[in-house]
Amino acid sequence: MKIFIEDKKLLTAFSLTLLVSSCSTDINHYQDAQPKFDVKTYFQGDVIAYGMVQDYQHKVTRRFCVEINGSWQGNQGLLAETFYFNDGEISYRNWQLTKLENGYYQGTAEDVVGSAYGQQQGFAFHWQYQLIVPVGDSSYQFMMDDWMYQLDEHRVVNRTAMKKLGLTVAEVTLFFDKQSPQTRCR
C-alpha cells in the first residue's frame, strides 16, 4: 500500500509539473513595457548573436554564434541566418517573414514545419513554431516556444523552450547585439 501511495504522490507531482510547464506567459502582460520592440526595425541590416543550448538538466551541450542579415520591403522581410557552432558545424536558416496587423507576424523557413506565428507587445515578442532538428543520422521535430525581450536599442535577449510531447527537453538562450555589426562570428 505504501508503494501505491508514493506512486500516487509522484504521479500527482508529475501531473502538476506538466500543467505548470505547459502554461505560457500572456504576451499582453508586456503591452506597456518599454522600449517597444519593433521586430521589423531591429532586424533590419546586420545583427550578431551569441547563444547556447542546454539540455533538460540545464547542462550546456552546444554554443554558437549567428550572423543575421535582415532586409524588409514593406511588410515582407528576409532574415538570412548563418550559425557557427563550437563543434565546427555551420548551418543556415532563411526566415521569410510577414508583418500582419496589430503586432502579429507569420514566417516560414527551410527547417520549419508549416508556418511560425508570433506577436509583439511592448518590449516582448512571442514566437512559436515546429522545427526539424537533425541529430546524427536522424531528424526530430520540436515545438519551439520562443520569447524575445528588447533590453535597449542595441540588445535583445531570447529564451526558447524546445518541447517534445509537451515536455521541455532543451532550452536555447541567445543574446543579440546590433551595436557592433562589424563584428563577425569567424
pLDDT in tens, 61-107: 999 999 999 999 999 999 999 999 999 999 999 999 999 998 899 99
Cell 554564434 found at: 65
DSSP3 helix / strand / coil % (the chain, rounded to 5): 15, 55, 25
Number of Cβ within 10 Å of residue 37's Cβ equals 21
* Model confidence band, residue 160 (pLDDT cutoffs 50, 70, 90): very high
pLDDT at residue 52 above 50?
yes
Ranges of each domain in the chain? 29-177
User: What pLDDT is stored for residue 24 in this prediction?
Assistant: 57
Q: Which CATH class is domain 29-177?
A: mainly beta
Q: The C-alpha cell of 77 is what?
A: 522581410
- pTM for this predicted structure: 0.82
pLDDT at residue 177 above 70?
yes
Q: Say if residue 39 is exposed, middle or buried (CB neighbours under 10 Å; 0-12, 13-18, 19+).
A: buried
Is there a contact between 43 and 66 (Cβ–Cβ < 8 Å)? no
pLDDT at residue 131 above 90?
yes
